[in-house]
Chains A and B, each alone.
Chain A
Amino acid sequence: MQQTKHVKGLNPDMFLNRNALHKDKLAYIASRDGYGDGLVEAGSKYKQVVVLCPDVTESTRSSDFKKKFPERFIQLGVSEQSLASIAAGMALTGKIPFISCFAAFCPGRNWEQIRTCIALQKTNVKLTGSHAGLSVGEDGATHQMLEDLALMRVLPNMTVIAPGDALQTKKATLALANLKGPAYLRFSREKSPAFTSEKTPFKIGSAYVYHFGNDLTLIATGLLIYEALITAHELSKQGIQARVIYCPTIKPLDKKTIIKAAKETGAIVTIEEAQIAGGLGSAISETTALTTPVPIEYIGVQDEFGESADTQTLFDTFGLSTSSIELAAKRVLKRKYNERVDDIIEYKTVAKKYKQEKQKKIIEEALNRTPKKWL
C-alpha cells in the first residue's frame, strides 16, 4: 500500500500551495523580494547582521533593511572587489555581513577576493547574487550571470544555495544568518510563481521530493524547479511518473536523497538556469558516477552567452522551458531502457531552431514598426 501511495502525484508533506500546478492561480513574486523580507527578519533576530551594498540598494531589495536598521546598512559605491574584503574584515570582527549585489558582479567581479578573504579564511560572510540567470532579460549577456554556480561551487568551505521562489528565498536568507561560515545565495529579479507555503520546509543541505515517481527523476535548483514540477505533471498525464527533487542547496549536496533517487528511478534530468558546466548537473554527475551511475541529461544553458529579450522568450529558446525538459525526460528514459537514441540531442536542436525562427520574427516585427521619417 505504502508503495503505490508514493508512485505519483505531489508530495503532501511539502505543503505546496494548493494551486501549485495551476500557474494562472498563483501569485507571481520576485525571489529578490523574499531576500528583502528575509534580511529584515534576520536583522531583527541577529544584532550582528550588517548589510553591505555597492550602489544597488533598491534593486536588491535591501531598502527595507536600510530603513529599519540604518546604522547597520553600509553603502560602498561601485566597488565589489574591495567590498568583499571589507565584509571579510567585518566578519573577522564578529559581524555577520550580507553582501547585497548582482550575481554578475558578486561573484562575477570579485571572485579572487571571495576565494582568499572569505572561502580560504572561512569568514562568516553571506554573499548574495541577485539578478542571476537569463531572467534579467533585456539587459543582455553582460548582466545575465550564468557562471556563478560553477564559480562558487568549486570553492572549498562555500555553501551554495539557489531557492525556488520568494518564500524559499526568505527562509534561506534567515537560515544563512544562522549558519556559521561562508555562503552564496542566488536569486532573481523576475517575478516567478509563488508555489510554496509558509509550511514548506527549508533546511540548508536538504533536497526535497516535491513530486513522486519512479520512472525517472527531475532534479532542479532555483526558479526552474517550478518548470520541473509542471513537466512532471504533464508527463504524468502521459503515463510517465517523474520524481521531482527540489535541490536548493547545490553545496553541500544532499547525497542521500540524490543517490536514493538514482537507485530507485535509474534515470536523471538535471535542471538549472545556469551554464551546464560546473553547476547542479555537474554536482549530481560527480556524486552518482561514484556510486550509482545512471543516464543523465542536462537542462541548462549549453555553453553559450545569453542576450537581450524577455524572460519567457529566453527560457523557450535557450531550452529551459517545460517542452525541453519533456524532451530530455523522454531521451533519458530511452537510455534507461537501453533503447536507441540519436547522437543529435533533440532538446538542444529543437530550442536552437526555435531560437532562430523567433529572432527572425521579432526583428521583422520591430522593423515593420519603423516610423516613416527613419526610412
Chain B
Amino acid sequence: MKKDFRLTNKKQKRLEELAAYIRRDLIETLVEAGSGHTAGSLGLVEIFTALYFHVLVHDPKHPEWKRRDRLILSNGHCCPVRYVAMAHAGYFPKKYLMTLRKFGSFLQGHPEVTRLPSLETTSGPLGSGSSQAAGMAYAAKMDKANWRVYCIISDGELGCGQTWEAFLFAGKNQLSNCTFILDRNHIQIDGFTEDIMPLEPLEEKFKAFNLHVINCLGNNIGDVIQAINKAKDIEDKPTVIIANTIPGCGIDFMENDFLWHGKVPRPGKEAKKAIQATQISF
C-alpha cells in the first residue's frame, strides 16, 4: 500500500490534538522519573508527532522491518519525548513510561538501542548521530534501497567538529535520502548558543557544506511536514531543515528559559501547574 504523505486540514487537526496529549504525558513521565531534560523534549513534541504519525514509513509492531525509515535522535538527552511518542505510536505499552530512568528499564536516561532496538542508535554524547545517519544513508544508497534517514540534531552539538565532518561526507556523497532536522532552540546547558559559541550565519554555513537548507517553524506541525515533504524532492543533496523551536514549548513558565534544560518539574504544585499549562482536560 502506498502511503499518502499529503496533509489534509483534518489530519493536521488530529495531529495537533495528538501533540497536546503527548506533551501532557511527557510532563507526567518526567515528573515520575524525577530527573531528565525538559526544555528540549518539550520543544520537539511537534516534530516527533509529525514524524511518527505522518512522515515515517514504519511499523511499530515490526520495529526491525528492513525497509523502514530510520529515525535517529542525535541529541539523546531529549529521549523522553521520543519515548512518549513511541508509546503513543504503539511501540510499547504506555505504562512503561513510568519506568523512565529506573533500574532495569529499557527506557534509559539516554537512549540505548541494545535495550530498545527501535531507537536505531544509542546517543547522549553529542555529535555522533549525524555521522551514523550518514553511514546508514550511504549504505541504503549502496543497496539501492528506498527507505530514508531522518536525523534530529541539536544546535548545541553544532559545536562538535564531528557534526561538520558528517556534513562534509553527506554533501560529498549527495546523500539526498538523508534529512537532518536541526532543533534550533538557541539554548544549551550553559546559556544561549549565540553567547556560548555563535552559530550564525547558519544557513550560509550549511549551504557552503553542500547541504540543501529549508527553514520551518518547528512547533507548527503543518510547517514541519511541509518542510520534510520538500526535502524528499531534493535529488542531489542532503537536506537540513532548520526547525526553529521554542525550548519548553507549551509550558508558559518554561519557554525559552535555559534553566529548564536539565531539570524536571517537582511533584506537587509545579507538576500540576505544568500539566494545567498543556490545556488538556480529562
Cα A309 to Cα B35 in complex, Å, equals 11
Contact flag A78-B160 (CB < 8 Å), given A55-B189, A140-B109, A308-B103 = yes
Q: Flag if A138 contacts B33 (CB, 8 Å).
A: yes
Q: Flag if A375 contacts B95 (CB, 8 Å).
A: yes
Q: Flag if B125 contacts A142 (CB, 8 Å).
A: yes
Q: Flag if B102 contacts A56 (CB, 8 Å).
A: no
Q: Flag if B109 contacts A308 (CB, 8 Å).
A: yes
Chain A residue with the shortest CB-CB distance to B127: A78
A164-172, A229-237, A320-328, A358-366: which lies at the interface? A358-366
A371 close to B (CB within 8 Å):
yes
B139 close to A (CB within 8 Å):
no
Q: Which of B95, B101, B162, B196 contacts A367 (CB 8 A)?
A: B95
Chain B residues near A56: list those with CB within 8 A: 189-190
Q: Flag if B112 contacts A140 (CB, 8 Å).
A: yes
A17-25, A26-34, A102-110: which lies at the interface? A102-110
Q: Flag if A57 contacts B161 (CB, 8 Å).
A: no
Cα A363 to Cα B102 in complex, Å, equals 7
Chain A residue with the shortest CB-CB distance to B35: A138
B183 close to A (CB within 8 Å):
no
A 277-292 contacts with B by CB, 8 A: none
Among B36, B103, B162, chain A packs the most CB atoms within 10 A around the CB of: B103
Q: Flag if A140 contacts B110 (CB, 8 Å).
A: yes
Q: Which of B34, B102, B282 contacts A362 (CB 8 A)?
A: B102
A370 close to B (CB within 8 Å):
yes
Q: Which of A79, A366, A367, A373 contacts B161 (CB 8 A)?
A: A79
Chain B residue with the shortest CB-CB distance to A76: B197
B43 close to A (CB within 8 Å):
no
Chain A residues near B102: list those with CB within 8 A: 308-309, 362-363, 366
Chain B residues near A369: list those with CB within 8 A: 32, 98
Q: Flag if A313 contacts B98 (CB, 8 Å).
A: no
Q: Flag if A142 contacts B197 (CB, 8 Å).
A: no
Chain B residues near A359: list those with CB within 8 A: 103-104
| Chain A interface helix/strand/loop/mixed | loop
Contact flag A78-B157 (CB < 8 Å), given A58-B190, A139-B109, A308-B105 = yes
B276 → chain A closest CB, angstroms: 16
Chain A residue with the shortest CB-CB distance to B195: A75
Chain B residues near A200: list those with CB within 8 A: none
Q: Flag if B35 contacts A75 (CB, 8 Å).
A: no
> Chain B 170-203, CB within 8 Å of chain A: the 1/0 string?
0000000000000000001110000011000000
A179 close to B (CB within 8 Å):
no
B220 close to A (CB within 8 Å):
no
Chain A residues near B196: list those with CB within 8 A: 55, 75, 77
Q: Flag if A366 contacts B282 (CB, 8 Å).
A: no
Chain A residues near B33: list those with CB within 8 A: 138
Cα A105 to Cα B28 in complex, Å, equals 31
Q: Flag if B108 contacts A308 (CB, 8 Å).
A: yes
Chain B residues near A58: list those with CB within 8 A: 189-190
Chain B residues near A140: list those with CB within 8 A: 101, 108-110, 112, 124
A304 → chain B closest CB, angstroms: 12
Chain A residues near B109: list those with CB within 8 A: 138-140, 143, 308
Cα A375 to Cα B94 in complex, Å, equals 7
A103 → chain B closest CB, angstroms: 11
B 78-98 contacts with A by CB, 8 A: 94-98
Contact flag A77-B110 (CB < 8 Å), given A139-B124, A309-B103, A374-B97 = no
Instruction: For the A-B complex with A307-B103, A309-B102, A317-B103 known, give 7 more contacts whose Cβ atoms are closer than 8 Å.
Output: A55-B189, A59-B189, A78-B159, A108-B125, A308-B103, A367-B96, A374-B95
The 7 closest A-B pairs by CB, nearest first: A359-B104, A77-B197, A142-B124, A77-B159, A309-B103, A140-B109, A78-B159
Binding site for A on B (CB under 8 A): 25, 28, 32-36, 76, 94-99, 101-105, 108-110, 112, 122-127, 156-157, 159-162, 188-190, 196-197, 282
Listed A/B pairs (25) with beta-carbon separation below 8 Å = A58-B189, A75-B196, A75-B197, A77-B156, A78-B126, A78-B159, A79-B159, A81-B161, A139-B110, A139-B124, A140-B109, A142-B76, A142-B125, A143-B124, A307-B103, A307-B104, A307-B108, A308-B108, A363-B102, A363-B103, A366-B99, A369-B32, A371-B28, A373-B282, A374-B94
